[in-house]
Amino acid sequence: MVFNRMDRKQQVLQKLRETDSYLSGQQLCEALGISRTAVWKIVGRLKQEGYPIEAVTNKGYRLLSVEGRDLFNQEELERTMNTAWAGKPLLYKEETGSTNTDLFRLSDEGAARGTIEVTSKQTAGKGRRGRTWISPPDVNVYMSILLRPAIRPDTAPMLTLVMALAVYEACEELYRESDQELRFGIKWPNDIVVSAGGGPYRKICGILTEMRLEEMEIRDIVIGIGLNVNQTEFPEEIRETAGSLSLALGHPVNRAELTAAVWRHFEEVYKTYLETQSLEPLRERYECGLVNRGRKVRVLDPAEPFEGTAMGITSSGELIVRTEDGSADRFVGTGEVSVRGVMGYV
């Protein structure tokens, strides 16, 4: 039932898109084999979602330019996505608890590998280390992908770095060229940060990878991404470190376009990673974005915190930290250890 309604909405949109001038209610009824009331209701729903549809008596309906609008719904996402397998299917929800949690449930119900869920609002967003991911409505992107890779469970943490690289490269591709003042980066292992006009780096994206095992083998993996896109205000506790793409760019950002770019990049880097199950072929690209590189870092290892200079990553994603006296390199795993810049967040 729901699918029928969605198809109709898509069909009305498509008809309006194909026509430069007006389409009468009668023409739409005939083309789609539905009643005038149904057309009227669908147009109302489309308007509510933000489509600028003009309705003129005796002429009909006309879709005005959607340029510059942040339309974010099933139709726009399907129209913008151009992936081979990621997001087939793609499920958009206006609101949910957590896209990661939803995908594990869908996986139990037989969902295909590559299924993506995207939402505009989470009421129980999960962050790393058991934290909450604050997920305000209608401004950001919260999404997850379901994977079932045939890899060893101990290599799975690398996927988090793979996703970080995809998001970083998507941001570089979409926004960097138009604004030389912007600097995107990856704060090891998987926070995406941005600095505008020489200002401090602020976190605009967090990634949460969760895995379930069955008899020591991977049953499924869900990678979730929270992207701060058009958010302009942040709660006190993260105000110093969090930012958003629109604040950095100085204008609102189209979320569907960003979503599509992330998954396009993910397909490419994921394929490269799976070929070797190592980050070696991606290491140089990752290090290009690694903002910690060459900077002093403090490794907040609960057993033994220490400081040093971040040099790069190993082929399995550990951070290489040269100790203060330069005598030795230490390798920091992604586990429970957190890394901070000595002078600030990065």
Minimum Å distance from CB 102 to ligand BTN?
8
Give the one residue of 189, 226, 243, 308 binding ligand BTN; rule: CB under 6 A. 226
Looking at 51, 92, 104, 142, which residue binds ligand BTN (CB under 6 A)?
142
| Structure tokens belonging to residue 123 | 């009421």
Q: Which is nearer to ligand BTN, 187 or 265 (CB)?
A: 187
Helix H or strand E segment including 9:
helix 2-18
Asked whether 44 and 51 are in contact (CB, 8 A), the reply is no
Report whether the peptide linkage leading into residue 189 is cis, meaning its omega lies within 30 degrees of zero: yes
317 touches ligand BTN by CB under 6 A: no
Closest distance to ligand BTN from the beta carbon of 194 (Å): 15
Name the region of 187 (left: φ>0; alpha: ψ -120 to 50; beta: rest): beta
Pick the binder of ligand BTN from 72, 92, 133, 286 (CB under 6 A): 133
- Note whether 206 binds ligand BTN by CB under 6 A: yes
Residue 5: both structure tokens together: 């309604």
- Residue 128 binds ligand BTN, judged by CB under 6 A: yes
Q: What's the CA gap between 48 and 330, in Å, rounded?
A: 55
Q: Where are the alpha helices (DSSP H) in 185-303?
A: 245-249, 255-276, 280-289
- The residues with which 296 forms a beta bridge, in sequence order, are 309
End-to-end CA distance of the chain: 50
Please identify which residue in 207, 245, 247, 248 interacts with ligand BTN, judged by CB under 6 A: 207
Of 22-30, 49-57, 128-136, 257-265: span binding ligand BTN (CB under 6 A): 128-136
**Binding to ligand BTN in span 53-112, by CB under 6 A:** 98-100
Angle between helices 255-276 and 158-171 in degrees, nearest 10: 140
**DSSP label of 96:** B
- 32 CB-contact burial (10 Å; exposed 0-12 / middle 13-18 / buried 19+): middle
* Among the listed residues 17, 45, 131, 152, the single contact to ligand BTN using CB under 6 A: 131
Q: Is 333 helix (H, G, I), strand (E, B) or coil?
A: coil
Q: Sketch the per residue contact string, 233 through 272, with ligand BTN: x for CB under 6 A, - otherwise.
A: ----------------------------------------
Does residue 157 bind ligand BTN (CB under 6 A)?
no
In the complex, least distance from residue 135 CB atom to ligand BTN, rounded to whole angstroms: 6
| Out of 170, 192, 208, 242, the residue judged to bind ligand BTN by CB under 6 A | 208
Q: Which is nearer to ligand BTN, 67 or 105 (CB)?
A: 105
User: Would you tell me which residues interact with ligand BTN (CB under 6 A)?
Assistant: 98-100, 122, 125-128, 131, 133, 142-144, 206-208, 224-226
